[in-house]
Amino acid sequence: MLTLLAPILAQLVTLNVGDRTAVRYLSVGNTHLEGSTAPSVGLNFGWKRGSIGLAYSPSFTVRPLERSPREVLVFQFASVNASYAWRKTTLSLMEGLGYGQFTLQVQALADPGANPASNPTPGSTTSTGGTNSPTTPGGTTPGGTNGNMAGTTKEPNPRATNQLKYNDQVIRYGTSTTTVALAHTVSRTVAVGANASYSIGSGLGDSKDEYPLITGARVGAFASHSLVVSRRDDFTSSIAAQYSVSSLGNRAWSAFANEGWAHKLDGRTSTRLSGGLAATRFSQNDGLIGYSIYPTFSAGINYTGRFEGGRLSLGATVGAAPYLDTLRATVDPRLGAGLGAGWSRKRFYTGLGAGAAISLSNDNKQGAVNSVGASIGAGYQLADSVSLDGGASTGWQTFEGTTIIPKSWSGFIGITFGTSVPLNGGARR
């Protein structure tokens, strides 16, 4: 029977393989060169209404390259993603597991900018891809960075628990995030959904005392309505609510109401503007309870066009909104801004970006983050499956009034390989 089913199943399976190898220079503390490689392999099983994806990516970092003694850090990450769709309803399940060693130097400088007006979907990853890479419980780097700088080439990074002190210490850490989401399309203009996540992060072995076990759970629901007024204008109304609880003794309720307007100035330029209110309730086991109401807004503009025989992309955004740390169940209202530019021509591409986030909370209370960062990079597509890139990034960040990333910078050069092969013998892509 299995022999008869094998040809049928093979038509539904895609094999994904890749590798990211890089050399980077770190400028702060124990200044040094280090090299890393992260092979990856994955299988995607697909059928008419559903799919399952399996992935495994260990990373190996050798440091310092220029002197002895050297050490090898190993981090392993595996994930499972599954989804099933009915006519108008989709159910998704995601699980990510990470275990191993890394330092916070690469994490701190890989993506130091932030756009805090964008609160990432709980459980979603914000990784810029590549070498050391589990997303941590809560799904964010310190300060909630999201790596959306247009066209920027950035060196990937390891992820530890949020807001850890930047230093050169080798950490042994384990992390797990489980997320389930349900989305339903009521009509062409109305959508509703609900989601939940459970996250665990803990130091292991000698690191357990300094980084104790933290768990966090979150549930949420949303509804949205879209109205297309013309070829150039559409409006979106949305409401959302979520509850988060942490083993640290924190609990946070939040509710959002927002109205957004998207407008096309012409075929190359688009703008977006939104505003609303966010209400939160924060409490701790010691009896502390706090209520807050925040006005929220965001504005942005994007341009895409031809320049010097290539494709040019420009973008700018500014906004304010409370940011929810789903692992610690804390709420931090933030004002943020970002700029980005990218240009590509044939096989060459380059980009730069900058971002800043300022906490609007008083007295640097729990979860307060201030950060500034910028990055620049360029790359060349050597072949369909191989690209070479390099760049630099700089950043600074505080957490609850304490500097966790001093003013510093990092440079890198790397090569990336990736390809997908349908196991039914179809063409490689």
Are the CB atoms for 386 and 406 separated by under 8 Å?
no
Token pair 């990470």 is at which residue? 98
**DSSP 8-state assignment for residue 134:** P
**DSSP 8-state assignment for residue 313:** E
List all residues 6 or more positions away from 197 whose beta carbon is below 8 Å from its beta carbon. Answer: 122, 123, 177, 178, 179, 180, 217, 218, 326
Domain containing 256 — which CATH number? 2.40.160
pLDDT of residue 111: 38
| Angle, CA of 403, 404 and 409, to the nearest 5° | 100
pLDDT of residue 239: 96
C-alpha dist (Å) from residue 114 to 160, 296, 356, 370, 397: 17, 17, 6, 9, 10
426 assigned to some structural domain: no
Hey, what are 159's tokens? 């992820």
Are the CB atoms for 266 and 284 separated by under 8 Å?
no
pLDDT of residue 156: 33
pLDDT of residue 358: 87
pLDDT of residue 108: 52
pLDDT of residue 351: 96
429 assigned to some structural domain: no
pLDDT of residue 157: 35
pLDDT of residue 132: 31
- Helix or strand run (H / E) with residue 7: helix 2-10
C-alpha dist (Å) from residue 225 to 118, 228, 260, 299: 19, 10, 10, 20
1 assigned to some structural domain: no
Token pair 């400088």 is at which residue? 109
Distance CA 66, CA 135 (A): 30
Its domain, for residue 116, covers 9-420
Using DSSP's 3-state secondary structure scheme, residue 205 falls into helix
428 assigned to some structural domain: no
pLDDT of residue 344: 96
Hey, what are 387's tokens? 């690209």
378 assigned to some structural domain: yes
How is 99-128 classified by DSSP, letter by letter? EEEE-HHHHHHHS----TTS-PPTT-----
Are the CB atoms for 143 and 397 separated by under 8 Å?
yes
329 assigned to some structural domain: yes
Q: How many domains does the chain have?
A: 1
Distance CA 191, CA 237 (A): 11
Per run of 10 residues, the mean pLDDT along the chain (length 429 residues) is: 47 89 83 91 91 94 90 94 94 95 62 34 30 29 29 35 54 92 96 95 85 90 95 96 89 93 95 94 84 91 95 96 73 88 96 90 68 92 94 83 77 94 62
Are the CB atoms for 276 and 359 separated by under 8 Å?
no
Distance CA 417, CA 429 (A): 12
Burial (CB count within 10 angstroms: exposed 0-12, middle 13-18, buried 19+), residue 371: buried
Distance CA 235, CA 272 (A): 10
pTM above 0.85, yes or no: no
4 assigned to some structural domain: no
List all residues 6 or more positions away from 4 whose beta carbon is below 8 Å from its beta carbon. Answer: none
176 assigned to some structural domain: yes
227-245 b/e with 16+ CB inside 10 Å = b?
eeeeeeebebbbebbbbbb
